[in-house]
Amino acid sequence: MVSPSFPALRMRRGRSAPWIRAMLAEHRLHPTDLIWPLFICDGKGCEEQIPTLPGVSRWSVDRLADKAREARDLGIPCVALFPNTPAGLRSDNAGEALNADNLICRAIKAIKDAAPEIGVLTDVALDPYTAHGHDGLVDERGCVKNDETSAILVEQALVQAATGADIVAPSDMMDGRVGAIRAGLEREGYCDVAIMAYAAKYASAFYGPFRDAVGSRGLLKGDKRGYQMDPANGLEALREVALDLAEGADMVMVKPGLPYLDVVAAVKREFGVPTFAYQVSGEYAMIEAAASAGAGDRDALVLETLLAFKRAGATGVLSYHAPLAARLLSEG
């Protein structure tokens, strides 16, 4: 017999069946919440598997049309492009970043020809093009030069916008580069090209497989702690976001994702702007390793982690699991 003092409200009533759990769900995940990062390699008819990112490949430009149509058919609204620039085209001044026929520009054209309704987000940073692996020009002491780098980033963004990029995403963490890029886009008439600023990008240990994917692992002299954020700092992220918004960013990003959900939540709460998170390569690799070891169900792990981003306040998530997640969501 239940004591009269037993609470009248039983929380389990709202969890008793699938229909009521669905009806009372506070957050929902949908394919339109996803951005799919794609890696590009030189050549034709190529698929290069990335050992540290099992299930993820680099694709030659001619193979990207199929990826764009796949994204469209899955309901994924946007893809993000990252090149593996051939070693012979990397240089200290990152000149290939300004080549209107580089891998990124050819990829933009291929995707827009195949599926013009798919949004294209492009990375604005110099590390895929530098021989030293840093995100900018380096002085004789090995320090990245802020203002000189920003000037090149403006030109890089203009080259990408002229080719058809819908969103340019500066990931370099140079001070003032968002304002410079916005001014450049406005000056040249690219008023409709959006900026997604990597506003809170941390100097993280989770980026290793990405560096394999873009061919920069082993090139880097030193580290990126002189310009990427210290993982110990949270309030600093709010200052970074405030500056990027004041300079004209349309959207902001927190990177990495799951270890920084507190930052995602704080940014969304403080500013109320479109806030994205990047579920980075190391996060993806950990889920794959857990699934391969039998430590968890891949599908469940993917959906639960992506839903955590939404619960924290993320508008959307860049994830290598995007096509898997979209399929799972469409299956109900």
Per-residue pLDDT of the chain (332 residues), as tens digits, is 556 667 788 899 999 999 899 999 999 999 999 999 999 999 999 999 999 999 999 999 999 999 999 999 999 999 999 999 999 999 999 999 999 999 999 999 999 999 999 999 999 999 999 999 899 999 988 899 999 999 999 999 999 999 999 999 999 999 999 999 999 999 999 999 999 999 999 999 999 999 999 888 778 778 899 999 999 999 999 999 999 999 999 999 999 999 999 999 999 999 999 999 999 999 999 999 999 999 999 999 999 999 999 999 999 999 999 999 999 999 86
221 is catalytic: no
Task: Give the pLDDT confidence score for residue 222 in this predicted structure.
Answer: 80
Distances (CA, A) of 328 to 85, 307, 325: 33, 13, 5
Q: Where are the domains of the chain?
A: 28-330
Residue among 67, 224, 255, 268 flagged as catalytic: 255
pTM (2 d.p.): 0.94
CA 45 to chain centre: 25
Q: How many residues are listed for the chain in this entry?
A: 332
Task: Give the pLDDT confidence score for residue 8 in this predicted structure.
Answer: 82
The CA distance from 56 to 289, in Å, is 14
Task: Give the pLDDT confidence score for residue 2 in this predicted structure.
Answer: 59
67 is catalytic: no
294 touches 256 (CB < 8 A): no
The CA distance from 176 to 214, in Å, is 26
Residue among 201, 224, 268, 310 flagged as catalytic: 201
CATH number of 28-330: 3.20.20.70
Distances (CA, A) of 327 to 30, 76, 290: 10, 10, 21
Task: Give the pLDDT confidence score for residue 179 in this predicted structure.
Answer: 98
Q: What residues are paired with 295 via a beta bridge?
A: none
Task: Give the pLDDT confidence score for residue 218 in this predicted structure.
Answer: 74
The CA distance from 150 to 176, in Å, is 8
Task: Give the pLDDT confidence score for residue 133 in this predicted structure.
Answer: 85
- H or E, element range at 238: helix 235-246
Task: Give the pLDDT confidence score for residue 318 in this predicted structure.
Answer: 98
Residue 155 assigned to a binding site:
no
DSSP secondary structure letter of residue 233? -
